[in-house]
C-alpha cells in the first residue's frame, strides 16, 4: 500500500514545491507511487493546517475559504462550481465531462454526493508539544473532521482526473457540512438545497484504532444520534449543620444519576445500540459548601441509533426512574424531551 513517506510541510503554503509537485503528478495519465506520495503529503499538510486553525459550528469561514482555495488549486475545480450553503457550508458540483449520456431508466444514478463535516469542538487541546496544535484556544479538532475534509479534497483531486469517464449529464457533488457537533448543520444544509437531485450520498468517519487501509461497513445505522434532556429536582434548602430540616436535592440527584445507568441495560434490546443517558453530565449544585440547596439541575445526553421504539422506551424509562429515586421530592413529571421536574 502506498503511504506518505515524507514529513508533510507545515504551515501549508501554495508556494511550497510540494503543492506544485502534486499538481504536476495529478496531470499525468498514470499515477506512480511517487506521485501518490506527493498527493498524500499534500493532504497531510492540509489536515495539519485545518487542525491548527479550528472553528466551531457556523463559524467555519476561514475553513470554507481554505477548502475553496485547495479545491481550485489542487483539483482544478472552477470557481463557478462552488456555492455556499447553510451559512458556512460548501457545495461543490463536479460535472461529468464524458461525450456520452447516462443510461436511461428510473434506476439510473445521475448525482452522487460525498460528505464531510467541517466544525471543531469547543474544547482545549492538551497536546502542547504538537507543532500544529490548535491556535484557537478553547476550540480543537478532536473528532477527526480535519481529516475528513482533507481526505475529501484528495478524493476530489483524484476524481477530477476521471471526469471524462463520467457521463456529461451526471455529476459528483461534494458536501462540506458545518456545525455537525452542534447546534446542527445537516438540516440547514438540506433546507438550503444541498440534496436536490442527489440519488446517493456517502460519508465516513475515521477510526484511528482500526488498521491502516481497512474500510469497515455495516447495514443500517452506524453512528448514533444524540438526544438531550434536562432533569430539575426541587427539594427544601437549609443549612448544612441541620440536614434534618432540609430535603437535599443533591442526594436525590446522585441516586437518579446512578439509576439512569440502568436505562440502556434494562430498556434497550441487545440487538440495538444506545449510549448511557447520563453521559456528558452537567450538574448544578450548591453555591457554597455550607448550604443545602433547594434545587439541583442536571443536563445530560443519551445516544441511540434508533429513531423509533428504542428511543421512546429509553425516554419513558428515564421518566420512570425519577419517581422511584426521588421519593423525598414527589411531584408530577413532564414526559416531554425537555426538562423533567420533580418538586416538593
* pTM of the predicted protein model: 0.81
Q: Nearest CA to 114 among 226, 45, 194, 216?
A: 194
User: What count of residues does the chain have?
Assistant: 344
- In order, the DSSP letters of 51-79 are HHS---TT--HHHHHHHHHHHHHHS---G
pLDDT, position 306 = 64
Helices 309-325, 249-260: axis angle to 10 degrees equals 150
Structural contact between residues 173 and 110, judged by C-beta atoms closer than 8 angstroms: no
Q: How far is CA 20 from CA 35, 75, 183, 186, in A?
A: 11, 12, 38, 35
Judged by DSSP in three states, 307 sits in coil
Q: For residue 7, what is the DSSP state? A: P
pLDDT, position 185 = 95
The contacts of residue 160 (CB under 8 Å, 6+ apart) are 26, 75, 76, 77, 94
pLDDT, position 271 = 65
pLDDT, position 248 = 85
Here the cell at position 272 is 440495538
Strand partners, 95: 171
Structural contact between residues 277 and 229, judged by C-beta atoms closer than 8 angstroms: yes
Strand partners, 279: 301
Measure CA 146 to chain center.
11
CATH class entry, domain 225-342 = alpha beta
pLDDT, position 283 = 57
Q: Are strands 238-239 and 279-284 parallel, antiparallel or unpaired?
A: unpaired
CATH class entry, domain 56-203 = alpha beta
Domains 56-203 and 225-342 share a fold: no
The CA-based dihedral angle spanning residues 157, 163, 166, 167, taken in that order and rounded to the nearest 10 degrees: 140
Task: For 15-46, write each residue's pLDDT tens digit.
Answer: 778 888 898 888 888 888 888 888 999 999 99
Q: In the chain, where are the structural domains located?
A: 56-203, 225-342
pLDDT, position 335 = 42
pLDDT, position 344 = 35
Rounded Cα distance between 198 and 91, Å, is: 12
Rounded Cα distance between 23 and 72, Å, is: 11
Task: For 213-262, write each residue's pLDDT tens digit.
Answer: 888 988 887 877 777 777 788 888 888 888 889 888 888 888 888 887 77
Judged by DSSP in three states, 227 sits in strand
pLDDT, position 316 = 54
Could you say which residues of the chain have pLDDT below 50?
1, 309-310, 312, 324, 326, 331-344
Q: Nearest CA to 50 among 139, 122, 143, 147?
A: 147
- In order, the DSSP letters of 96-161 are ---SS-PPPSTT---EEEEEEE---BS-----TT-TT--SSTT-B--SSHHHHHHHHHHHHHHHHT
The contacts of residue 290 (CB under 8 Å, 6+ apart) are 239, 240
pLDDT, position 315 = 54
Rounded Cα distance between 125 and 52, Å, is: 10
pLDDT, position 260 = 78
Amino acid at each position: 500500500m502506498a503511504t506518505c513517506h515524507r514529513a508533510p510541510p507545515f504551515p501549508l503554503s501554495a508556494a511550497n514545491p510540494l503543492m506544485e509537485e502534486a499538481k504536476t503528478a495529478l496531470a499525468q495519465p498514470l499515477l506512480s507511487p511517487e506521485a501518490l506520495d506527493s498527493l498524500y503529503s499534500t493532504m497531510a499538510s492540509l489536515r495539519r493546517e485545518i487542525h491548527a486553525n479550528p472553528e466551531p459550528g457556523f463559524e467555519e469561514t476561514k475553513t470554507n475559504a481554505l477548502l475553496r482555495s485547495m479545491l481550485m488549486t489542487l483539483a482544478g475545480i472552477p470557481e463557478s462550481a462552488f456555492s455556499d450553503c447553510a451559512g458556512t457550508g460548501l457545495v461543490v458540483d463536479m460535472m461529468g465531462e464524458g461525450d456520452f449520456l447516462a443510461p436511461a431508466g428510473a434506476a439510473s444514478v445521475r448525482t452522487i454526493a460525498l460528505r464531510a463535516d467541517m466544525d471543531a469542538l469547543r474544547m482545549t487541546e492538551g497536546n502542547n508539544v504538537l507543532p500544529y496544535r490548535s491556535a484557537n484556544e478553547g476550540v480543537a479538532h478532536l473528532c477527526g473532521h480535519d481529516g475528513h475534509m482533507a481526505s475529501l479534497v484528495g478524493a476530489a483531486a483524484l476524481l477530477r482526473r476521471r471526469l471524462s469517464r463520467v457521463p456529461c449529464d451526471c455529476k459528483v457533488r461534494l458536501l462540506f457540512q458545518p456545525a455537525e457537533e452542534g447546534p446542527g448543520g445537516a438540516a440547514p444544509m438540506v433546507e438550503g438545497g444541498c440534496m436536490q437531485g442527489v440519488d446517493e450520498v456517502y460519508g465516513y468517519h475515521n477510526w484511528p484504532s482500526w488498521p491502516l487501509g481497512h474500510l469497515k461497513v455495516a447495514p443500517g445505522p452506524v453512528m448514533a444520534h444524540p438526544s438531550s434532556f434536562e432533569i430539575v429536582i426541587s427539594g427544601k434548602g437549609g443549612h448544612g449543620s441541620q440536614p434534618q430540616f432540609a430535603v437535599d436535592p443533591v442526594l436525590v440527584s446522585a441516586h437518579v444519576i446512578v439509576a439512569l445507568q440502568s436505562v440502556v441495560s434494562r430498556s434497550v434490546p441487545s440487538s440495538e445500540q444506545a449510549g448511557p443517558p447520563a453521559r456528558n453530565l452537567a450538574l448544578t449544585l450548591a453555591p457554597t459548601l455550607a448550604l443545602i440547596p433547594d434545587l439541583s439541575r442536571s443536563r445530560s445526553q443519551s445516544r441511540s441509533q434508533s429513531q423509533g421504539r428504542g428511543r421512546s422506551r429509553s425516554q419513558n424509562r428515564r421518566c420512570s426512574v425519577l419517581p422511584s429515586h426521588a421519593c423525598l421530592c414527589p411531584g408530577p413529571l413532564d414526559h416531554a424531551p425537555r426538562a423533567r421536574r420533580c418538586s416538593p
